[in-house]
Amino acid sequence: MRCAGFALLAAVAATGIVACGDDGPTTLKLVAYDSFPTEGTPLNDALTEFTKDTGIEVQVVIAGDAGTMVTKAGLTAGNPEGDVMWGVDNTLLSAATGAKVFDGDPVEVDYGDVCVNYDIAWFADHSLEPPATLDDLVKPEYANLLVVEDPSTSSPGLAFLLATIAHSGDDGWHDWWTRLRDNGVEVVDSWSTAYYERFSGSAGSQGDRPLVVSYGSSPPAEVVFADPPRDDAPTGVAAETCFRQIEYTGVLRGTPHTAEARQLVEFLVGERFQRELPLTLFVYPVNDSVELPEVFTKFAVIPDEPFTMEPDRIDRNRRQWQDEWSEIVTG
């Protein structure tokens, strides 16, 4: 998919389009999830440079979390609320393509991993080794320590559910979650609630759970935003619990600005924009020419063998798995 996408983008680049119509410069709407910044970050500065170079203005439109964004796009497919979509991930990709949201194939734009994070100081203070694997999480010594997100309302929550299904299989994941439920897992509706309110390792949090489902790139974020500054990360990552998330961007079907939208997609996968991703969205760029910042390479975790699953399998089973999970864990 990525090769086809880059071939398309190369063709667009060759046209050298600069957008100015009878009514002035074209304004594109970049539809994104709620953690995408709308102003004041290096990503927004890069978009400003895109406007200076092309004459195409970009307005970031926040559509909610990733699941809400894809649902809205499906309902308006062919008559979209924007021109380009950023950030549909592989857990939701088939839902978007099945609804014919995109004009052509979306392209990979970044990647990362959803993993269990742990509070280093808490485990040191309690003379307990942090869990290393998914099977560790259901052991008695980790009872009442983990907070997770609901897979029906949270993208990382869904990714974690998929990790457990990939790990335990169709015949085993129900039992695994039953054991985790009985081991005192706490469920909340969103990543922000889990990480900033319930996880004890997040800066400023009053939470009492030293284990949380978050990202392999959460530790460098703790270092970058630490106040006062610090040289080490207060959190660690259980690398054998990770599920690989890949995010995509693409032109929305029905946009009246197809050529300009393809120029924007080309820019989003280009080096200028991609180099700002690690320390803004804390994801890995897909552009191989980008050199990662030292704080990112030092503290982020990329697992050797993350759990994965084909998007088509996710799409076929997602709703049923979510319902079964709810019946086991919260029902």
Domains belonging to the chain, first-starting first, are 2-111+245-298 (3.40.190.10), 113-244+301-329 (3.40.190.10)
pLDDT at residue 5 in the model: 40
Q: Which two tokens stand for residue 135?
A: 């099977």
pLDDT at residue 316 in the model: 92
Q: Give the residues of the chain that fall short of pLDDT 50.
A: 1-18, 20
* AA identity, residue 237: V
Residue 315 in 3-state DSSP?
A: helix
pLDDT at residue 1 in the model: 36
pLDDT at residue 16 in the model: 43
pTM for this structure? 0.86
Q: Where are the beta strands (DSSP E) in the chain?
A: 20-21, 24-25, 27-32, 57-62, 84-89, 107-119, 146-149, 186-188, 211-215, 235-251, 284-285
